[in-house]
Amino acid sequence: MSGPILEVRGVEQRFGPFRALGPVDLVLHRGERLGIIGPNGSGKTTLINCISGTLRPQEGRVLFDGVDVTDVPPHRRARMGLSRSFQIPKPFTGMTVLENLLVPIDQISPSADAEDRAIAVLESVGLQRRAAHEAGDLSQLELRKLELARALVVEPKVLVADEAMAGLSEGEIDDVLAILTRLSGTGIAVIMIEHIMHAVMRFSTRIVCFETGRTIADAAPDVIAADPLVQKVYFGEQTRH
Amino acid sequence: MSLRENAMDWAVRRTGRTPRATRSLVFALGCLAVLALGVVLTRMVDNPYVFFAGYVVIQYVALATGWNVLGGYAGYINFGPTAFYGVGVYMAAFLVKAMGAPLPVAIAAAGVAGALLGLAMGWMTLRVQGVYFAIATIALVVMAETVIHNIDYLGGASGLALMPPQAPAWAGGQPQFMLMVMLAIAVAFVALARWIEISAMGRGLRALKASEIAAECAGVPTFRLKLIACAVSGAMLAIAGAPYVYYASFIEPGTAFSLALSLNAIAMPLIGGKRSWVGPVIGALLLATVQQAASVTISSELNILVVGVVLILFVAVAPDGIVGIVEKLTRRRGA
């Protein structure tokens, strides 16, 4: 199939009288690296929740791989190949790091070599030495890596990384970027929501900018960076002398 | 050695784990040994009080284990285990009175009734979480007890005397037989709990306990798993109640729906440790034995005080229970 892997059509989400999102249209192509930027409260995470299914939008449709998934619960979307990581890591505490990865494998693609697959993914993010440790004992960076590893281990078609690099040092950002770039090389489409501009700029082939629930720009990174409207809402008013 | 082998090897060394098949074999042999020990005991001991006390203690192992499937693995605190226990008791009572039903039939019927009630609990209350779920489960006890109070056929509030079928001759008497039955039930429950724990279902339950949204996004059908856990736990709690009718031959709502029984069934996994099947077993053996000893030697009123004090101590000092303490100690020594 050659159509887009993910399509958002006229999606709108209101919380009471407040319209947090929409109407928004968005298309993600296979293997694409899409960056989503925008100030806090501009609707990025709401959009992700509508895509992953934890929120059901009041208006509009979400299509995954050509199938309308608007009314499909999150676990079934995950089984169809839609993975996400959370802005605030949500490790399965009370379980080991290895077991954290076995949970999605059990549900989505069980196999006899599940543990080997999990270990291989832990290696790829540099967490193999932590395999037998309690997930709750991990550091912030390790939690973010676990978050990614858990989303990746089932080889999804789309990965949505919600601020996977927030709070990390420059070196750690490079680590995570390398993981995501390597992943994208295997044909997985990635949506990166990020505040760290140089990371999004480096990673993405296309960037969408959000402001008060609407997309105000959708273009290649260099075009976005030069867009006066984006500069205004995102970088603040620039004064020239 | 490759990196992967290295990591696996390291993980194994770290936890000191033997392969799963070996551990399961050891577990199965242990179960058989416990059953054999029970049979031997019934042949060697004469004092009927030992059998009564043993029955109570083992019944608590069964109750604590059944409760822990939902409360420990899934993290949904059911404050009304006696709603299920009582339904099991009265289901058996009904069958004995109506048709003199043999014990296996009563156990099966109690299991079905408990599972259905568990499903109802799941439907009604799994959309509410935390404290609200707990409150709803308390209401379940009140509802079940009220229903029984109003059924004259089952003796209403004043209770019901029954003539349950006699124990088979090979058992050597009713107390001996009932002890063996309860032991078999408890061993089966522990085996079931362990199976759930190490299976994909157990991992799914623990994942949703940590974060329902993250579990759901990792492909875990959280609502279905919670329903299954409610049904299984409900069936286990009800099954634990069925044999009581064959032992006591007189039942009344006050004992079948007793608050002390609920408190114990919750306190035991908390004290032993909720995370693994060992916890409820240890908690039940320890607490129930102390209670039995206290009610004989000191006062029958004192035993519930013992539970209260021990529970407060553990919640404050060792929230992961005895198993948690042991794990912490061994980890410190290993590190």
Question: Using one digit for the tens of pLDDT, what is the confidence trace for A200-209?
Answer: 999 999 999 9
Q: Which residues of B touch A110 (CB under 8 A)?
A: 200
Judge: B220–A75 Cβ closer than 8 Å, yes or no.
yes
Does the pLDDT at position B6 exceed 70?
no
Chain A residues bordering chain B (beta-carbon distance below 8 Å) = 52-54, 73-76, 78-79, 83-84, 86, 90-95, 98-100, 102-104, 106-108, 110, 115-116, 119-120, 122-123, 128-129, 131-133, 150, 154
Q: Which residues of A touch B6 (CB under 8 A)?
A: 128
| Non-local CB neighbours of B220 within 8 Å, separated by 6+ positions | A75, A103, A107, B204, B207, B208
Which has more pLDDT, B12 or B265?
A: B265
Q: Which residues of A touch B8 (CB under 8 A)?
A: 115-116, 119, 131
DSSP secondary structure of B8-62 = HHHHHHHHTPPPHHHHHHHHHHHHHHHHHHHHHHHHH---HHHHHHHHHHHHHHH
Q: What is the mean pLDDT of residues B250-271?
A: 91
What mean pLDDT, rounded, does chain B reach?
A: 88
Both tokens of B103, joined, read: 């014990």
pLDDT for B55: 94
What is the DSSP-derived secondary structure letter of residue A129? Answer: G
Q: Are B263 and B81 in contact (CB under 8 A)?
A: no
Q: Are A97 and A130 in contact (CB under 8 A)?
A: yes
Question: Using one digit for the tens of pLDDT, what is the confidence trace for B113-167?
Answer: 999 999 998 887 667 777 888 888 999 999 999 999 999 999 888 899 988 888 8
Question: Using one digit for the tens of pLDDT, what is the confidence trace for B171-226?
Answer: 888 888 999 999 999 999 999 999 999 999 999 999 999 999 999 999 999 999 99
**Minimal Cα distance from A114: which residue of B?**
B200
Q: Is B4 in the A-facing interface, judged by CB distances under 8 Å?
A: yes
Return left, alpha or beta for B221; rule: phi > 0 is left, psi -120 to 50 is alpha, else beta: beta
Most confident stretch, A40-44, A135-139, B209-213, B234-238: B234-238
Our CA dihedral for A78, B126, B194, B81, rounded to 10 degrees, sits at 180
What is the DSSP-derived secondary structure letter of residue A134? Answer: B
Q: Which residues of B touch A72 (CB under 8 A)?
A: none
| Chosen from A45, A90, A146 to mutate, greatest number of chain B CBs within 10 A | A90
Q: Which residues of A touch B217 (CB under 8 A)?
A: 52-54, 74-75, 78, 83-84, 86
DSSP 3-state of B189: helix
**Minimal Cα distance from B73: which residue of A?**
A94
φ and ψ at residue A17, rounded to 5 degrees:
-80, -10
Calculate Rg over the CA atoms of chain A. Answer: 18
| Chosen from A77, A92, A108 to mutate, greatest number of chain B CBs within 10 A | A92
pLDDT for B5: 55
Does the pLDDT at position A173 exceed 50?
yes
pLDDT for B14: 47
Q: Which residues of A touch B203 (CB under 8 A)?
A: 95, 99, 102-103, 106
Nearest to B4 among A52, A53, A120 (CB): A120
| Non-local CB neighbours of B198 within 8 Å, separated by 6+ positions | B20
pLDDT for B314: 84
CATH numbers and ranges of domains, chain A: 6-235 (3.40.50.300)
Q: Burial letters for A136-171: b for 16+ Cβ neighbours within 10 Å, e otherwise? A: eebeebbbbbbbbbbbbbbbbbbbbbbbbbbebeee
Judge: A154–B10 Cβ closer than 8 Å, yes or no.
no
Does the pLDDT at position B43 exceed 90?
no
pLDDT for B207: 96
Judge: B214–A90 Cβ closer than 8 Å, yes or no.
yes
What is the DSSP-derived secondary structure letter of residue A42? Answer: S
Q: How confident is the model at residue B3 (pLDDT cuts 50, 70, 90)?
A: low
Give percent above pLDDT 90 in chain B.
58
Q: How confident is the model at residue B333 (pLDDT cuts 50, 70, 90)?
A: low
Q: Which of A211-220, B87-96, B128-137 has the lowest mean pLDDT?
A: B128-137
